[in-house]
Structure 1
Amino acid sequence: MDKNLGEGANFRNRKMEEHINETLIFMIQYIDDSHFDKLFERCKPLLKKAVRKKRYIKGYDQDDLWQEACECFVEVTKKYDRTRGMCFSQYVSLSLDNHFNRLRRWNNALKRKSNIEALSLDGLVEQAGQHIMGSSKELTPPEAVIVKESMSEYSEVLSRFEQIVSMLYMEGYSYDEISAELSCSREKVMNAKHRCSQKYKNLFMR
């Protein structure tokens, strides 16, 4: 009997916690986003759990994973829809799982496809053109050889996130499509793309 009473109390406590979360997310979305910090503190254990369980992803240390989790949480607060029948904490956990799984898939894809191939001269010129190089300058064969030999240096100066953004952009994805695929803001994608362009120019257009 005591055990049943304890389980009942735990259930009521969980329901109360969810009610508080639902109230806060409603206020953030429709009234006043000043409640974001309070909701974040309440959900922080979910983010820490996701980072712990998730895990090793090559190129990401624990600080990187935590940053990814925090950015995912920001997006979650914008996209959550209570009418879909999922409580907020469940939606947070599911979104974090999906986000980290996407990062892992792209990381594995980069392992299978060498950075030199993914960022080859032909790919940069034919698929990205002016957006990467800043002009449609046609390189002579000797120049092409020099640039190709320097591609490994270029790939080394890009972060893992920048490599993924660059690869997707060269494959024809728009900023909005990349942000949706990686569950991050359009601004973050644009900033990463800008850094790729600047690093490219610093290496090859000085």
Structure 2
Amino acid sequence: MKQNEEVSQPPLRADARRNRATILTAAHEVFAEEGLDVQIQVVAQRAGVAVGTVFRHFPTKEALIEAVGAMQLRTVLDRFGRALEEPDPPGAFERLVWHLTGQYQLYRAVPPALANDSSPEIEQLRVQLYELLGRTVALAQEGGRIRADLELTDIMLLVTACAHVAEGTSRTDPALRKRFMTVVFDGMRPAGGSPLPKPTHASPLGSWLAVYQAQR
């Protein structure tokens, strides 16, 4: 009997991996369509599994959001890497911001995931994000596309603000997003800029977290 149990374990583990992947994909889709406040039952229905199966893999909804956020962060990192390899590297920053804000619904779980400071996996992804974002911003600054005194704090807050505007105008007047984004990018151009005060928090994450948590 013990021998038979050992033989049957690998397929069960494979099934568990498939279930987990299916749940993550379903949650990603449902979060994009309905937002993060959606009930777990909706995710389970989309995945074709029982609610209990979802909770076996993710004990809380927060754990599910974090896992989806990690998956979405990897997608963001991949886009950053590919954008830096495209022609016109200094323009990668603007292309990425247009994409991230235009497709904000695909990355809804990223902010709460980034706000989690207790996950080693998220911390590793956060470090990679800062590195790639830093390179992207530096190339844009060196190429004269954006002002030299912009810091990562400014960029993170601007992207967050643009995403909020995109979400608010997506079903009413999508053209308003383009107007807003044009104003934002014009404000980031080197010419005619006013001196910027230093942020209160020492780290980009600290400043962004203060704003993010104040809105929750």
Taking structure 2 as the reference length, the TM-score comes to 0.30
Larger Rg: 1
Higher fraction of helix: 1
Taking structure 1 as the reference length, the TM-score comes to 0.31
